[in-house]
Structure 1
Amino acid sequence: MMVEIKAIEPLWSVHDLSDYLGIPVHTLYAWRSAGTGPPGRRLGKRLRYRPEDVRAWVESLPTEVVA
């Protein structure tokens, strides 16, 4: 019997997320304080993001054009 092993992506730091989204780190912390932005998790003192959660959050954003 073959067991499928799923590759696990490494968690992203706030700096990784900043690079991915092109958003300053301080903005990401402000979003977190306001309860907006992608869901993050605390691992000890470190804040980490699952890439799949970030991608799902981006996909959930409205797509209206801002003038």
Structure 2
Amino acid sequence: MGTTAPAQADPLAILRGGLPDRYLTPDDIAEMFEVPKETVYQWRKKRIGPPGFRIGKYVRYDPADVRAYVAERKSADYDAA
């Protein structure tokens, strides 16, 4: 019997409904925020996006940090209004 791979969840639904219980990749962040991956790398370079960290040569994002970043942005936009 063959095994089937789990279906990929919609990244935007994940962001709204709760992030996965794993470290996120730049591709994940780009999909969630609907921006090019290069934008994610520019955010990291300029230190204006969700904070990432390196594991060897790979950049990863903690879902808790991404949640905090989104909450901070929402709060900043609310306070500016």
**Identity, % of aligned positions:** 37
Structure with greater proportional helix content: 2
5+ residue gaps, structure 1: 1-7
Counterpart CA distance in 2 for 1:45 and 1:15 is 15
Residue in structure 1 matching 2:34, options 22, 29, 34: 22
When the two chains are superposed, the root-mean-square deviation of aligned CA atoms in Å is: 1.5
Count of residue pairs the alignment pairs up: 57
5+ residue gaps, structure 2: 1-19
Runs of 4+ aligned structure 1 residues displaced above 3 Å come to none
Normalised by the size of structure 2, how large is the TM-score? 0.64
Normalised by the size of structure 1, how large is the TM-score? 0.77
Q: Which has the higher relative contact order, 1 or 2, with Cα contacts under 8 A spaced 6 or more apart?
A: 1
Aligned to 2:77: 63
